[in-house]
Structure 1
């Protein structure tokens, strides 16, 4: 068994190794020039290997001392008035297991990406974001305070959005990244509200002080049922967004626009399970609040049903895997809602490893399916499942059609969430323009709308504008020029 001091140093090393790789590689890219692929991969993979070795040592010590609960204080980050932001890591059975999982899968995906992204224009950018994601995720799972968890949570979200839009020369990836970003922003309000509520109710942000400092999963938190329910539901809103739970999971299939390694890392193995980890971490709150546990179980069950129905009718491999991931994560939330925390942790670890392998093999899955069909050519098609045989044919056809349309979740979200937010944004923009015009003494004009500057330039120089328009070919000229 390692000493507490050594465990603290190993925990800090596991988190800071990819952070050092990100800082070194980012400074080199910013100040000098793009390094070679060999230098990039060696820097990042070496840092991830160091992180994995430190995580394995911490996990072995946690297994040898199963009741270990060790907060590691790295000192204050900043102070504002009477509040001090402390950087505290937590070493226990849950954090040690998650640190091993995160560092292991990040290293495997990084090694796979060396060949997958060879000679890709964004090779260095991908590994830079991989190091940043590893830093954020390791900080998230080893955080001893809700403040540090929030910082890691935001780093994971930022890298997720940037990697979805990795192929930004096409229109679909940036559009999918915007959808992911909006969902994250809306749901992260719950985590921010939960952090503020925790400070207000418990007067602390450290897990040990709020939950009693017992071995995970611990006993019921020393809070009232109403306070525990409010805090747990705030945190669950954030978990729903990050883990793509019903009805907020329509962004998950669209996030597959990123490279296959990032899809395996984020939406097959690690990032999509961050919400599950958050609920496992706040298990003492759920012990105090049966209402919050019931809500978590019901949402997880609805997600599992939705994911399995939609996933069975998908025509592409990555969308089918995305909905299969949604289904399994929903089952994990059901297990958490029923109080089966150890089962949920084992389920998380096993599912992350399996789904990562399936995501990495997704490009070759089509060939495998064709070979299987060729081997079974001429055989009768398999029968429908039990539900398909028992339910009326009209209901089966209706469910099939709804599954093809993904239950119209995206149009509903755009109509009920996106459109009202856009209207509020436009209203606030008009109010801001009026206030700026009133304070500056300049009357509000229609010329302040987008594109007005170009119109003013055209009016100021009519000759230039006429010449510019004269050289622009029309659609008829373009058709004539085609052979």
Structure 2
């Protein structure tokens, strides 16, 4: 390895470690009960995010100078299980590997740039907020998760970053703990994320079972994105790809898991901007882009991805037209574009150039939505000032409900107002049957446990009776004489 390549590996490791250093600097004092000051948190965010951004740019320059299309940074193994022959390398291992290529570098740069922008905005927006330090601790965890997931070269490393992003997102939705609604919505987001995490975990296990490893570069035959070619069969690619699609549907709020996205707007504006407008909501699309070789060999998987994307875009556009608050309207606008991005990824099966289109669409849309969410608190004021200056209401654009036939207009309006009845359908036909099933299992378990306890009590040998203690031969204490009754006091005249 040349000196320039070694320098690139050093810069890559530096870019990876900067977010975790921020977590340590902000998190450890908070755990010790002595959180850092607002000024110290601001300086730490500025310094480490700028360092990570500069290091990632340095890796990009090194790759351009050396002509390398991907650069791998290996930080060792999480777990190593020795083979039966005692080989040093190990029969089964989880490697902590990161890859800088044409897909991961743009998303890492986007993560550092947008998180730096939001950090500078949040220091002023949340000034003297009681949860100021808690916000920045969770914000640093989110940044660490995004960088880990975007640069991961193994599915285990990606899963670790995926979990950090989900945990910080759900906790920031419930940021305002003094109100019940944010906590309830944060819990709902966490439930959907659990479904997504389970699908990704099953996909990782299936990938290890079918290929013997979870490295992305080996899965793509050591070719850089998007030229990789998988060795999996069409059926294997369909199975793993379907699990990955389910994971992406939960993380990116695709239909039918779209109900949690407007609920996530309960969090503060900075977290809404960077999570559900820019980065977190695009993580599912990034997962599909990362494993695009599976889409290339499975036409049914590509058709399913296109169908889910287009259905999500249509649903989000209809639901967004009837929203009455700006953050919910922006969330559905984001969701409609994410649906189109997912459809473009599926179309890459027939035209691989569409994967570049999807990546460009993702980067541009993330920047636009971040700006719009940050502007949301002052946008309504500017809108009213403009109407007051004109002396009239601004003209409204005709949406799909206005041009729909009369007999369909009322139904479409109610469908959009109820947000497609997705929450009711999932609650009544998915969640409720599972709850009933688990309650049935719990009742059977209690009955079986009670039966075993009764059987054990009847089969147990009788224990010998304990001998009676010898009688106490000491004389019983004499009873104390009763106190004399008080004499009646005769009253005389």
> Per the alignment, in what secondary structure is the counterpart of residue 361 of structure 1?
helix
Distance 1:386 1:249, change over 3 A: closer
Report 1:159-198 matches (<5 A): 159-198=168-207
Paired position in structure 2 for 1:398: 411
The answer as to 2:371 corresponding to 1:357 is yes
Report 1:10-409 matches (<5 A): 10-64=11-65, 68-80=69-81, 82-339=91-348, 340-378=354-392, 381-382=395-396, 384-385=398-399, 388-389=402-403, 391-409=404-422
User: Which sits farther off after the overlay, 392-401 or 181-190?
Assistant: 392-401
What is the CA–CA distance in structure 2 between the aligned matches of 1:229 and 1:2, rounded to whole Å? 42
What is the CA–CA distance in structure 1 between the aligned matches of 2:438 and 2:57, rounded to whole Å? 48
Structure with more helix by fraction: 1
Contact kept? 1:63, 1:93, Cα under 8 Å? no
Distance 1:386 1:239, change over 3 A: closer
Residue-by-residue CA offset, 1:290-317 (whole Å, 9 max, x unaligned): 1111110110000000011111110000
Contact kept? 2:41, 2:136, Cα under 8 Å? yes
Residue-by-residue CA offset, 1:170-201 (whole Å, 9 max, x unaligned): 01101001110111111222111110111111
Distance 1:94 1:62, change over 3 A: farther
Contact kept? 1:219, 1:284, Cα under 8 Å? yes
Residue-by-residue CA offset, 1:303-344 (whole Å, 9 max, x unaligned): 000011111110000000000000000000111111100000
Contact kept? 2:149, 2:158, Cα under 8 Å? yes
Report the Cα offset of residue 402 of structure 1. 1.2
Distance 1:32 1:440, change over 3 A: farther
What is the CA–CA distance in structure 2 between the aligned matches of 1:442 and 1:172, rounded to whole Å? 48
User: Which sits farther off after the overlay, 20-29 or 173-182?
Assistant: 20-29
Alpha-carbon RMSD = 2.3
Q: TM-score, normalised by structure 1?
A: 0.87
**Which one has the largest radius of gyration?**
2
Structure 1 residue runs of 5 or longer lacking an equivalent are 444-483
Q: How many equivalent pairs are there?
A: 443
Residue-by-residue CA offset, 1:334-385 (whole Å, 9 max, x unaligned): 1111110000001000000010010111111211222333344447845635
Report the Cα offset of residue 397 of structure 1. 2.5
> Per the alignment, in what secondary structure is the counterpart of residue 93 of structure 1?
coil
What is the CA–CA distance in structure 1 between the aligned matches of 2:411 and 2:386, rounded to whole Å? 30
Contact kept? 1:62, 1:96, Cα under 8 Å? no
Distance 1:432 1:373, change over 3 A: farther
Distance 1:300 1:64, change over 3 A: farther
User: Which sits farther off after the overlay, 39-48 or 279-288?
Assistant: 39-48
Q: TM-score, normalised by structure 2?
A: 0.85
User: Which sits farther off after the overlay, 206-215 or 1-10?
Assistant: 1-10
What is the CA–CA distance in structure 2 between the aligned matches of 1:251 and 1:159, rounded to whole Å? 15
